[in-house]
Amino acid sequence: MTVITCVEDLRRLAQKRVPRMFYDYADSGSWTESTYRANEADFVPIKLRQRVAVNMEGRSTRSTLIGQEVAMPVALAPTGLTGMQHADGEILAARAARAFGVPFTLSTMSICSIEDVAEHAGPGFWFQLYVMRDRDFIARLIDRAKAAGCSALVLTLDLQILGQRHKDLKNGLSAPPKPTLASVLDLLTKPRWCLGMARTSRRQFGNIVGHVKGVSDMSQLSAWTAQQFDPALNWADVEWVKKRWGGKLILKGIQDEADARLAVESGADALIVSNHGGRQLDGAESSIRALPKIVAAVGSQIEVHMDGGIRSGQDVLKARALGARGTYIGRAFLYGLGAMGEAGVSKVLELMQKELELSMAFTGHTDIATVDRSILLPGTFPVA
């Protein structure tokens, strides 16, 4: 493949180059995957109003997210095991985001550690936090994010327990991969990936291994994580995290108006309309369909962001029109990373900005700040 014209091109290339268990980890949902599919499919019926004879010069996609200037209203979402899509994946993605001028969000379950990534990230370096039973570890993790210069904390609220992800169970997902006959045969067909992994020492969860009592290697990690996600997580814990952190706080996983109002009451700076990429509650509403009701409920009191299903700049434009101040891309940048490393992530961002800019112009706008739902064809988009 010599010409990359869209994210789908990169997805197909990543599928060829990334070991099956890690590609499937990125490109799958829970149970029947109905919500995973709906996240992407529900953008399609939303139609744009084409305008003509409008001056299209001087186009700008620049915006702000929680007060930080960005090249476009897009951030790289937190994704676990990013460093297993490509060697040193979190570092490469952070470098691409920094060069382009958008935030990069590091997952608690990253392969590269906070400290590793901090050396390469820009001012838009955000850290995503899972709250676990070991509050001492979580407190130290928050402090490490502060010390690393993270400018925002993204607290994920929709993973108190792990959704049933059938592909991961069937593949026997682990990092690094366990040497079964199937995994070895698969790795033999991925020489580029294997060579990259042979050259790096980062092959385990850098934020966890060596930082919690009783976990010094990967053999001890799976048992620890299975016990640590906290099903008792509640809004009092959000308040504790907010006080411990003391900086910009974004709450991820909001799908319901009542929870959105509680997010406002918590004093958070932003919320993310998200169903965890369809990886938790299968059968939940797609993010783009949930977005308008959340905006209607709280949009003037807190920044509303969204993730789920965004594969193009036109999807970003539609989300913006429906009230999202910002959007997040997870799978899209992982496809680029798995396909071409740092250059692939940069390519995804370039494609999305170009698609966003052109689609915006065709609807009669030259500044992303002026976009609202008037660019959408009535009757084709969800309403609150």
| Binding residue positions | 25, 78-80, 107, 128, 130, 156, 165, 252, 274, 276, 279, 307-311, 330-331
Residue 207 tokens, joined: 């934020």
Q: Which amino acid is at 213?
A: K
Of the residues 86, 120, 276, 365, which is catalytic? Answer: 276
- Nearest Cα to Cα of residue 7 among 21, 33, 26: 26
Annotated binding site for glyoxylate: 25, 165, 276, 279
- Cβ neighbours around 328 below 10 Å, total: 31
Structure tokens at 165: 């992800």
CA distance 371 to 318: 9
- Please state, in angstroms and rounded to a whole number, the distance separating the CA atoms of residues 30 and 39: 13
Amino acid at 133: R
**276 an active-site residue?**
yes
Dihedral sign of CA atoms 223, 218, 78, 151 in order: positive
Query: Residues comprising the binding site for FMN?
Result: 78-80, 107, 128, 130, 156, 252, 274, 307-311, 330-331
Residues 6+ apart with CB under 8 A from 120: 91, 94, 95, 98
State the Cα–Cα distance between residues 306 and 252, nearest whole angstrom.
9
Q: Is the dihedral of CA 277, 282, 286, 290 positive or negative?
A: negative
Residue with tokens 């990373």: 337
* DSSP result, 151-166: SEEEEE-S-SS----H
Catalytic center residues:
276
